[in-house]
Every structure is written in C-alpha cells, then in structure tokens.
C-alpha cells in the first residue's frame, strides 16, 4: 500500500472508531425497575401497576425514549413477601443497575425497601395512598397522604351522612394502624367519644368476616348512625364485602368508605349488593375529561376491554411523566440531579386540573369520593380543588410541628419549633 493510501486508511479507521464510539453511547439503555407483586395476596392490585408501567414505557420509547436512549423495563416479583421487597430492590439497584424504580403498594413493603434505597441512593416512585409520617429524599410519594384521602372521607361521613359511631377496620400493618391513629385523634377532636370508635385489625388474606360484620352491625343497636372506614387491603376485601352482602347490610344501613378498593378490586366482585358504598381516591375511571378518555382508550386497546383503570395507575402516569421531564431537564439519570429538577414540575391530572411536585416529595391532588354503581364503576359525588400533600399530619401533636422540605431546608423531618433538622434518614 502506498503511503498516501496508508494515510487515507488511517483517517478512515479513526473516523470509523469515532462514529462507532458515538453510536455506542447513543444506544446505551436507561433501565426502569418495576417492583410490584405479581403473585401472593397483593397480586390482585399490583399486577395492574406492572402492566401500567410497561404501557407508559412503550409510549415513551415510541416518542424516542429519553435523551436519545431506549428505556428498558426490568420486572421483578417480590411476591407479596415484605422482606423480599428489600432483596428485590437491592437486586434492581446493584445487579441490574436501574436508574429509577416504580413500585410497592403496601406501606409495609415500602418500609422494607426504604433502607435499601437510602443506602444505595436509589430513587423510588410510590403510587399508593399511605399513612404519612415519613419523607425520604429517595422516595417521591405520588399517592395520597392522609389529608388527601382519609381526612376528607371522614369529613364526608360527619358532615354529609351524619355518622355518629365509627368502625375503623384495617389490615394489620403500618398503614392502617398509623392512619387510624390519626383518624381516632381527629374524631375525638371533632367531639366523637372514644366509646363510639371501634377499631379492629385482621391479617392479610383474612377470610372469615362473619363475627366482625356482626360486631359492626351491633354498634348501631342504640340507634346511632354507624359508618365503616376501611383500610382493609388486598384480596381480604373480597370476603369482607361478600359478608356484608350476606348479612343484608346496605349502604343506607351502614355506609362503608374504603381507601384500598377501586375499580380493579370491584371487577372481581358481584357489586349488586355494594351499590351506594363509597371509596375515597384522587382518581376514578368515570372522570369525564378528554385526557382520561384517551388514557382509558389506550389502556383498553393494549389490555382488552374488560381491564379497568384506577387511582394508583394515574399516580404512576403522573410520576413517570414527571421523571421523564426531570431527566430531560437534567440531561442525565443521576439521582441527585433528577431530584433537583423534580421540584415544581407540573403535569395534568387525568381528572382535570394540574398536579405539582412539592418540596416535600408529595403531589398536589384533588380529593374525590365515589359511590359504587352496579357496574363496578364509581359515581363521583364529591371533588375538591388540588390539595397539597402533607408528609406530617396536623392532627397529632408530635407531628404538627414537623415539615418536610428537601428543596430549601434539605430535610424531610424539620422541627419548626426548634428550627432544627431532626433526621435525614427515615425511621424504619
């Protein structure tokens, strides 16, 4: 080969190498971990959220992905096993090296994951209503805090239905126990006597509801109006509502408002005897907006006409789209830089209005109360303007003095009385 040709070949090889290097960088994948139970007692609710995430990722990839890179979902099954959630989260972050995780349903599973995401500086988007009393710099809480669900539902019972005696029925874990602690104090502050508040907890998957339903019915023996506030979770709801129907209890007799029963759970039940009972969420499929109509159309086209939409799906929809925007603004998936770009982001709710990500890692969201219809959908009977999520309740003295502000104060548990940051890590 002549010197001139050798020189040309060298230049060609260098140019090719540069092109290959650029191409290699451009196709590097962004990995999204999906941490939802696909088996066990919570699969009835969580499988839908896995499917939602896959749909959202497909949609974003059809738009070109993020930063010119394809999004790859990494799906694991923690199998409704709370310690396994921690193991699977660690696997996602250390083995698969995901850039973000979307997952969990129950608070006990989130508490299991918390030390892992904080240790490894991961990022988790948590899409389900929870008990509050927490704010981690590594978690964005896109579901409802107590002031966005439990408190407004209780107000509806007091003000609109005239409920005088309350049965607080929950599954035995952190979310129902903490929420009911808040609600007990709130009811007492509203003048409800301690003797008029009945609290009962049952294990996950509980099936025999005859005694508990009989106890609830007995509360109304003296003529006072009884209402049930339900924090029962998972497939235990099936047995509870069947027993209510078997006992001939209608919504007129004893109304039930649930925080973990949505369209997905009702789709597996005979709802004819549940008409009139209530649920409090921030979204219902029956919301009549153009953006929701499009969301439902897309979902059913992918999953079939029998599949319904629900509240935690909307939370993932908002959270994922905000994360995409934050990554785009940051120009990287680096957790610290993404976090900085999350504050103040807005995105349209499916029910109308705008969600905003607050410095306390919670969203502003409208509160909706829906009445169960015979077809398993909800008639929306109450809707508020957007309510800012509160990480620390105003209804417990020890929490009232606390605020969360990761943007300015760089603290999730800041005591306003002492003007000091109590802790940076979560209480597990």
Q: Are residues 120 and 171 in the same domain?
A: no
The string of DSSP codes covering 307-364 is PPP-HHHHHHHHHHHHHHHHHHHHTS--HHHHHHHHTT-EEE-TTSSEEEB-TTSBBE
What mean pLDDT is reported for the chain? 92
Burial of 344 (0-12, 13-18, 19+ CB in 10 A): exposed
Query: Dihedral, CA atoms, 249, 255, 260, 264, nearest 10 degrees?
Result: 60
Boundary (domain end) residue, out of 281, 314, 344? 281
Q: Tell me phi and psi for residue 15, to 5 degrees.
A: -65, -40
Residues 79 and 158 in one domain: no
> Is residue 161 domain-shared with residue 248, that is, in the same domain?
yes
The pLDDT confidence band at residue 428, using thresholds 50, 70 and 90, is low
Question: Do 36 and 68 lie in a common domain?
Answer: yes
pLDDT band at 245 (very low <50, low <70, confident <90, very high): confident
pLDDT in tens, 211-244: 999 999 999 988 999 999 999 987 888 889 889 8
133: left (phi over 0), alpha (psi -120 to 50) or beta: left
Lookup: tokens for 210: 């005859």
Q: What confidence tens digit (pLDDT) does each residue in 333-349 have?
A: 999 999 999 999 999 99
Decide which of 241, 265, 281 is a domain's last residue.
Answer: 281
Residues 40 and 135 reside in one and the same domain: yes
- Please give the Cα distance from 16 to 5 (Å, whole number): 16
Tally of structural domains, the chain: 2
Domain that holds residue 229: 148-281
Task: Mark whether 54 and 34 lie in a shared domain.
Answer: yes
Domain final residue pick, 281, 311, 340:
281
Which has more confidence, 3 or 229? Answer: 229
SS3 385: coil
The answer to whether residues 152 and 262 belong to one domain is: yes
Q: Is residue 24 part of a domain?
A: no
pLDDT tens digits, one per residue of 113-123 = 999 999 999 99
- Quote the pTM value: 0.89
pLDDT for 23 equals: 33
- Angle made by CA atoms 184, 397, 144, in degrees to the nearest 5: 60
pLDDT at 27: 40
> Which CATH number covers residue 192?
3.40.50.2300
Report yes or no on 18 lying in a domain. no
- Reference 378, options 242, 287, 306; nearest CA is 287
| Residue 152 sits in the same domain as residue 277 | yes
- Pair 126, 225 in one domain: no
User: Tens of pLDDT along 398-427?
Assistant: 999 999 999 999 999 999 999 999 988 887
Mean pLDDT across 187-195 = 97
| 149 contact partners, CB below 8 Å, separation of at least 6 | 129, 259, 280, 281, 282, 367
Q: What confidence category does residue 103 fall into, taking pLDDT thresholds of 50, 70 and 90?
A: very high
Same domain, 269 and 341: no
Instruction: With beta carbons less than 8 A apart as the criterion, state whether 102 and 316 touch.
Output: yes
My answer on whether 180 and 226 are in the same domain is yes
Using the predicted structure, report yes or no on whether residue 141 has a pLDDT greater than 50.
yes
> Same domain for 171 and 195?
yes
The tens digit of pLDDT for each residue in 149-173 reads 999 999 999 999 999 999 999 999 9
């Amino acid at each position: 080969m002549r010197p001139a040709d050798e020189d040309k070949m060298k230049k060609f090889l260098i140019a090719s190498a540069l092109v290959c290097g650029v191409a290699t960088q451009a196709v590097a994948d962004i990995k999204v971990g999906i941490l939802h139970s696909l088996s066990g007692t919570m699969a009835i609710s969580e499988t839908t959220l896995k499917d939602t995430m896959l749909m959202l990722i497909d949609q974003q990839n059809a738009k070109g992905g993020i930063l010119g890179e394809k999004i790859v979902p990494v799906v694991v099954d923690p199998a409704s096993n709370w310690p396994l959630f921690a193991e699977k989260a660690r696997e996602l972050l250390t083995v698969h090296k995901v850039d973000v995780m979307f997952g969990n349903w129950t608070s006990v599973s989130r508490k299991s994951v918390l030390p892992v995401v904080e240790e490894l500086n991961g990022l988790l988007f948590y899409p389900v209503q929870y008990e509050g009393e927490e704010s981690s710099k590594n978690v964005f809480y896109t579901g409802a805090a107590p002031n966005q669900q439990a408190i407004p539902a209780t107000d509806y019972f007091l003000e609109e239905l005239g409920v005088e005696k309350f049965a607080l029925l929950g599954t035995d874990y952190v979310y129902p126990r903490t929420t009911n602690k808040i609600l007990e104090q709130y009811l007492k502050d509203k003048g409800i006597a301690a003797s008029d508040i009945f609290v009962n907890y049952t294990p996950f998957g509980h099936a025999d509801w005859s005694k508990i339903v009989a106890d609830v019915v007995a509360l109304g023996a003296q003529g006072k109006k009884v209402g049930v506030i339900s924090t029962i979770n998972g497939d235990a709801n099936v047995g509870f509502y069947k027993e209510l129907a078997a006992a001939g209890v209608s919504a007129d007799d004893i109304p039930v408002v649930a925080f973990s029963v949505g369209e997905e759970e009702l789709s597996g039940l005979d709802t004819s005897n549940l008409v009139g009972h209530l649920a409090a969420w921030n979204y219902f499929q029956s919301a009549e907006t153009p953006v929701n109509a499009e969301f439902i159309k897309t979902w059913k086209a992918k999953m079939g006409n029998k599949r319904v939409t629900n509240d935690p799906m909307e939370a993932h929809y908002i959270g994922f789209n905000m994360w995409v925007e934050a990554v785009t603004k940051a120009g990287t998936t680096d957790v610290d830089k993404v976090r900085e770009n999350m504050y103040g982001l807005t995105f349209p709710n499916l029910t109308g209005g705008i969600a905003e990500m607050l410095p306390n890692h919670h969203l502003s969201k409208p509160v909706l109360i829906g009445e169960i219809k015979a077809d398993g959908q909800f008639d929306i009977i109450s809707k508020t303007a957007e309510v800012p999520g509160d990480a620390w309740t105003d209804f417990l003295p020890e929490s009232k003095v606390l605020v969360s502000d990761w943007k300015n104060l760089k603290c999730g548990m800041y005591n306003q009385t002492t003007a000091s940051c109590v802790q940076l890590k979560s209480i597990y």
